[in-house]
Amino acid sequence: MTPPPSVAAVVVLAAGQGTRMRSSTPKVLHALGGRSMLGHVLAATEPLGAGATVVVVGAGRQMVEEHLATVAPSARPVVQAEQRGSGHAAQVALDAIPDVDGAVLIVNGDAPLLRAETVRALVAEHAAAGNALTVLTAEVEDPTGLGRIVRAEGGVRAIVEERDATDDQRAIREINAGVYVGDAAALRGGLGRIGAANDQGELYLTDVLGLLVGEGARVGGVRAEDADDVLGCNDRRELAARRRTLNDRVLGELMRSGVTVVDPQTTWVDVTVTVEADAVLEPGVQLEGGTTVATGAVVGPDTTLVDTAVGPGASVVRSHCLGADIGPEATVGPFSYLRAGTRLARGAKVGAFVETKNVDVGEGSKVPHLSYVGDATIGRGANIGAATVFVNYDGVAKHRTTVGDQVRIGSDTMLVAPVTVGDGAYTAAGSVITSDVPPGAMGVARAPQRNVAGWVRRRRPGTPAAEAAAAAEERDAAPGTDHDQ
């Protein structure tokens, strides 16, 4: 396998205000597909193996720096205290790495659709052609408002902004993507000579290209195969559009790999998710974070999985799972809520309207419906009756319940932790179990039933219930009534 082309440094421009987002969150931290915009850019450039990665920060710098420490701790934030344009940002970055020599990639931090293969092709062409600077371009249907790429003699001769373009230049559909790779010395030299004689009084990175061309340096351009790669993101509408495009890409790759996606319009899968061939994603599915879905599993409809593992042949229907481990051939739902630390062994079942947390459910065991199971270990082949509650919290601390193999917990049982129900034991329906139940025993913890005769007639006279009771009493008292039938 051919090793990926490398660069000496990657510079990510992420200092902008992003005012059109109308948000207290810095623009580059808005998320789509399981990563921030900045995270997507860093993921696209990471395979280059750069000796240094510099992220220029400014607006919301503390939030951006904290995010970088989590997603890319080796990246170095550099502060652009005053935002004076892309050229100034690049200059600040290069000043922070004065010893770097060789190719430097410069990319905007709000390009979440940029792919590693596109960046790789740009760097490879730059090295092969021996260029001083190479710019990424794209051909678009409507180039209005974008800088046009003017080519001549096999190279790029200029980037012309629309306000400065002639009619012929406005007809050009190849546009500047704002991604550059250039020789560090050439970039430093050019950035040191560009001026700010423009309406905004800013230093533009595109002006470096003009300087290099004027000096006879070799400047080239590489056209992205997919124009979506170069799309930026400036407001919430564009963020939604980029999110849809990214999701379509993810689902397309999954379907080509053998995953069935029944309704791509309502299925959302993060780029960090893994789904194996022959898995089925029903409509209304959202897979987020580090979720994995194994072959033969069926997820959905209407299911959200976050950081959850679904084993081969398992089924999860209309449920919400966070940090759960669902074993092979296990079944979940409908309407279940599996919280962090839930682990289902092979063939286990968590049924309708069940909530679990920090629980191990053994092979073939069932929690069929209407129950809460928290801080517990359930052995093999056990059955937890409807409306059972594992009472794990005493108001100060959590305690654990242990249920053995082949146990039968009767409906409406309260298991007050810490407590153990031994192998093969039973609990009677309606019991409140506060002491251990030995193996093979029946735990019964409920008061004897007491019937107060005539209570409704005395305390609820004139009500429909009293009338029904009176009619029944008259019927039962009628001659010839056989109460033994």
The answer to whether the beta carbons of residues 273 and 249 sit under 8 Å apart is no
pLDDT value of position 481: 58
In a domain, 396, yes or no: yes
Structure-token pair, residue 181 = 């790779």
**153 band by pLDDT with thresholds 50, 70 and 90:** confident
Label residue 135 by pLDDT band (50, 70, 90): very high
In a domain? residue 420:
yes
Q: Choose the catalytic residue: 126, 369, 399, 483.
A: 369
The closest alpha carbon to 341, from 369, 313, 309, belongs to 309
Q: What residues make up the domain containing 225?
A: 9-230
- pLDDT tens for 355-373 read 999 999 999 999 999 999 9
User: Considering the entire predicted model, what is its pTM?
Assistant: 0.91
196 band by pLDDT with thresholds 50, 70 and 90:
low
Q: Is the pLDDT of residue 420 over 90?
A: yes
- Is 477 domain-assigned? no
d(CA 380, CA 199): 74
pLDDT class for 435, splitting at 50, 70, 90? Answer: very high
Active-site residue, 483 included: no
The predicted pLDDT at position 15 comes to 92
Question: Domains in the chain: how many in total?
Answer: 2
Mean pLDDT, the chain, as a whole number?
94
Residue 64 and residue 211 in one domain? yes
Residues 30 and 175 occupy one common structural domain:
yes
**Beta-carbon neighbour count of residue 130 at 10 Å?**
9
Confidence category of residue 276, pLDDT binned at 50, 70, 90: very high
Q: Please check the confidence at residue 122 and state whether its pLDDT lies above 70.
A: yes
- Banded pLDDT at 233 (limits 50, 70, 90): very high
Ranking 194-208, 394-408, 433-447 by mean pLDDT, the lowest is 194-208
CATH code of the domain covering residue 108: 3.90.550.10
Q: What angle is formed at CA 49 by the lines to CA 100 and CA 234, rounded to 5 degrees?
A: 90
Is residue 289 assigned to a domain?
Answer: no
17 within a domain of the structure (yes/no): yes
Per-residue pLDDT, averaged over 377-385, amounts to 98
Predicted pLDDT at 204? 85
- Is 354 a domain residue? no
Residue 225 sits in the same domain as residue 371: no
Question: Of 208, 230, 252, at which residue does a domain stop?
Answer: 230
Give yes or no for residue 1 having a pLDDT over 60: no
Residue 57 within any structural domain of the chain: yes
| Residues present in the chain in total | 485
**pLDDT exceeds 80 at position 4:** no
User: Can you give the CATH number for the domain in which 382 is found?
Assistant: 2.160.10.10
pLDDT at residue 484 is higher than 70:
no
Mean pLDDT computed over 195-209: 75
Of the candidates 173, 204, 230, which is a domain's last residue?
A: 230
Predicted local distance difference test score (pLDDT) of residue 199: 57
Say if residue 44's pLDDT is above 80. Answer: yes
Q: Given this model, what pLDDT does residue 283 score?
A: 98
In the block, residue with structure tokens 């809460």: 372
pLDDT for the residue 3: 60
Q: Looking at 230, 257, 275, which one is the last position of a domain? A: 230
In a domain, 485, yes or no: no
In this prediction, residue 163 has a pLDDT band, given cuts at 50, 70 and 90, of: confident
The burial of 430, by beta-carbon neighbours within 10 Å (0-12 exposed, 13-18 middle, 19 or more buried), is given as middle
